[in-house]
Amino acid sequence: MTETHPGPAALRATALIDSDHPAVQAFAAQHALGGTHRERAVALYLAVRDGFRYDPYRIDLSPQGMKASSVLASGHGWCVPKAALLTAVCRAAGIPARMGFADVRNHLSTERMRETMKTDLFIWHGYADIWLDGRWVKATPAFNIELCERFGLLPLEFDGENDSIYHPFDKTGQRHMEYVNQRGAFDDMPLDRIVADFQSVYSGWLDGASGSATTSALHGASFASDVEQEVAR
């Protein structure tokens, strides 16, 4: 299969993939260690994966909430903004990167999420697509290592050569993630499309009290506590 070589947009800052933000630049300078793009990309992946807690309860679909730099400021994020951060720090380090999206069926969400979302289908799941050694390689930095250990998940590793995507099963052989639709790769985050689809599919998940319906109705709950309860059952 012929690879689509990256254009200038794969290194350019955008409003949401704000690789020109001072904090993003500083993070990239600190963590992009190694002598090759592949080594630096792996180091950045681990820094983003484990340096920021995965928290799907604290979704904020506003432009400010979805910026890569907002993950740095808050210390947490869900799959899309964490993927935006990985994309941004790669660009800041001079490594072409873009965002990729897929729809996945999550068999291990919490009971509170299942009751609120009314589905186990997660649309617009985000990952980073990084140009390394002449081809695009997928990297999924969503689940930090502590969460994987608590939830009995196999942590996603990334070597810069093979795609890093969710495992179909957890450590005990239970179903974990199933990819049901690939939405493709984008040089910028298609936020308008994501918001419209979330409002359509997850009307019970998004809080419309503010009139914008862009924040999660689960904001006041603790994802970490619910994970602990789920595992204890």
Structure tokens, 130: 């990084």
Lowest mean pLDDT among 33-37, 103-107, 132-136: 103-107
Res 233: pLDDT: 63
Nearest to 100 by CA among 183, 15, 13: 183
Res 170: pLDDT: 58
Domain ranges of the chain: 13-232
Contact of 82 with 139, CB cutoff 8 Å: no
Q: Which residue has the tokens 């999420």?
A: 113
Average pLDDT, the chain: 87
Contact of 98 with 6, CB cutoff 8 Å: yes
In words, the CATH class of domain 13-232 is alpha beta
Res 209: pLDDT: 40
Instruction: Tell me if residue 187 falls in helix, strand or coil.
Output: coil
Nearest to 13 by CA among 5, 4, 3, 25: 25
pTM listed for this prediction: 0.91
- Would you place residue 211 in the very low, low, confident or very high pLDDT band (cuts 50, 70, 90)? very low
